[in-house]
Chain A
Amino acid sequence: MKKLLALALGILTAIGGFVDIGDLVTSAVVGSRFGLTLVWVTVLGVVGISLYANMAGRVAAVSGRATFEIIRERLGARAGLANLAASFLVNLMTVTAEIGGIALVFQLVTGISPMLWIPLAGFGVWVVVWRAKFSALENATGLLGLGLMVFAVAVFLLQPDWGHLAPQLIPRIPATEDGSTYWYYAIALFGAAMTPYEVFFFSSGGIEEKWSVKSLGEMKANVLVGFPLGGLLSISIAVCAAVVLLPQAIAVTSLSQVVLPVIQAGGTLAFAFAVVGMAAAVFGAALESTLSSGYTIAQYFGWSWGKFRRPAQAARFHLVMLIGLIIAVLVLLTGVDPVAVTEFSVVFSAIALPLTYIPILIVSNDKQYMGEFRNGMLTNALSLIFLAIILVASIAAIPLMVITGAGQ
């Protein structure tokens, strides 16, 4: 019974923790401009992240070592450093976007400028990363993040014309948009679903929680059940936007527009659930991406790391996170639009995807590390297909960003 509860808690946490500011904004933008014609990308992204997170988790559970430790060992110091630089920069952009996201959610509730909330959000994330236990921060934010299920409820409360919605699921470029913009947002959505920090956090979290071969079943359930259900939340956000905002030609550019369909469906109560869900999801993602920045650097340089150690025993790990948070806060205080940062962060995530996923695929096939738990034929075949998609998305991202003026 205790095991079953732990399993259920893990799955619920994975669902609630799946969505971050990138998913929130990109799903709503896409729903409000392209209807449901890009839902296939979310499905593709969820399959991809489930596949690779499962591999990264398996590597952590079997070898007892996290992704970046092995990347350096396997790729060598120089290639590993290039990988580290790119991953860390993308991660820092994600931290910045998430801190900005927290400030925007608080602005929704109070009407007070996000500039006031940005330093408080950064401070709050630092305090939690410094003080809270790993399991507590993961479970609390994941469970409260379930408040986002209100978007799924809202879809039904809005009573859409299902006959009109269903044909939108067929991938096609809407008449009001051009092909390059469609593909630009397809890449953004894919990048949002497969954000690299999720994998770093997942594999390092496995070490934090002392996974072993015995934990493989639980880890698999979290990934293969929790992530797809989390993906349904992203799709619900897109459906809400497609039902309420698209017919009124409201293309989403701010978080205050994202919640309008929920308010229309369920009034202030639904809004309260949405705000709690968004705050928890974005705060959780800020914690995860901040921890990921510490994990990657500390693991590469071989420093002592982890929440299972006291801060004094992992001082450089904590210092990296503190510096990352300070940079994120300072960037946001220049007045840059957090939503714009979010949109750029998901596209740059897409660009950096191969750097994260190629080493995981190599290591999970390594007999020396993985023994009998290395990838099977089917996993490898699927992984290679996804690697091809990841490479295409990565190469096409910058040209499309320039051509479309970042999706304008």
Chain B
Amino acid sequence: MTSWPKLAVVVVGVVLALTACSSPADQVAQFAKQAAAAEQSAALGTELLRTGKALQPEISTLFQDSMKELNSSEQSLAQLQTTGHAAALQHTALTAVRRATDALLVAQRELEAGAVSAHATEQLRKAAEALKKAEAP
């Protein structure tokens, strides 16, 4: 008969094994997806600000939250140990995340100065698109 402690060890083992199943390529895609969502929401917020629907403090907060997500995605991507095809995917995703961070920084500076330009909004959209492409393994 299986005792409770043994059963608990088996359950924990199965759970940990399942957790470890995600491949490096899947993890790259996951972090790129998180970054894309952050950049896309910054782009949406910028558009709402430019059409006069949103207020500056809300969009400033949105930018801060998006920046936090981008930084977290970049750190997670950089820490991944990859080889071969996954390493190439990691490089593409990291480059896209860094470009997205730059685009967001520009938009943030413009917002602090008073308004976000159409060019900065376009750059945010393009960076989000690049991240979406980096999602596909």
Contacts and interface: CB of A to CB of B under 8 A. Distances in A.
Contacts of B115: none
B59 to A, nearest CB: 8
Contact of A108 (B37, B38, B61): B61
B33 A264 contact: no
A156 B56 CA distance: 26
B3 to A, nearest CB: 18
Contacts of A248: 40-41, 44
A400 B132 CA distance: 27
A402 B19 contact: yes
A167 interface: no
Contacts of A110: 57
B15 interface: yes
Interface in B24-40: 30, 33-34, 36-38, 40
B52 A249 contact: no
Interface in A88-111: 107-111
A173 B19 CA distance: 20
B16 interface: yes
B58 A259 contact: yes
Interface stretch (A229-237, A250-258, A303-311): A250-258
A343 to B, nearest CB: 15
A268 B54 contact: yes
B18 A263 contact: no
A271 B58 contact: yes
Interface in A174-195: 180
Nearest to B12: A402
B44 A249 contact: no
Interface residues of B, number: 30
B19 A111 contact: no
Determine the main DSSP class of A at the interface with B.
Answer: helix
A399 interface: yes
A248 B41 CA distance: 8
Nearest to A408: B30
A371 interface: no
Interface in A359-408: 399, 402-403, 405, 408
A245 B44 CA distance: 9
A399 B16 CA distance: 9
Contacts of A251: 33-34, 37
A336 to B, nearest CB: 13
A256 B48 CA distance: 13
Given A108-B61, A256-B58, A405 B41 contact: no
B71 interface: no
Nearest to B43: A248
A107 B34 CA distance: 22
Contacts of A302: none
B16 A268 contact: no
B54 A111 contact: no
Nearest to B57: A111
B105 interface: no
Nearest to B135: A249
B53 interface: yes
Contacts of A124: none
A254 B70 CA distance: 13
Given A111-B60, A263-B48, A268-B55, A249 B65 contact: no
B18 A109 contact: no
Contacts of B62: 254, 256-257, 260
B132 to A, nearest CB: 7
Nearest to A248: B40
Contacts of B30: 408
Contact of A402 (B16, B45, B60): B16
A29 B41 CA distance: 13
A245 B37 CA distance: 9
Contacts of B52: 267
B16 A264 contact: no
Contacts of A244: 44
B74 interface: no
Given A250-B41, A256-B65, A108 B58 contact: yes
Nearest to A244: B44
Nearest to B21: A403
9 contacts: A110-B57, A111-B56, A111-B60, A111-B61, A253-B34, A254-B62, A257-B62, A399-B15, A402-B16
| 7 pairs of A and B residues whose beta carbons are closest in the complex | A111-B57, A254-B65, A111-B60, A256-B62, A267-B53, A256-B61, A250-B41
Interface of B: 11, 15-16, 18-19, 30, 33-34, 36-38, 40-41, 44-45, 48, 52-58, 60-62, 65, 68-69, 132
Given A251-B34, A268-B53, 5 more contacts: A251-B33, A253-B69, A256-B45, A257-B41, A403-B18
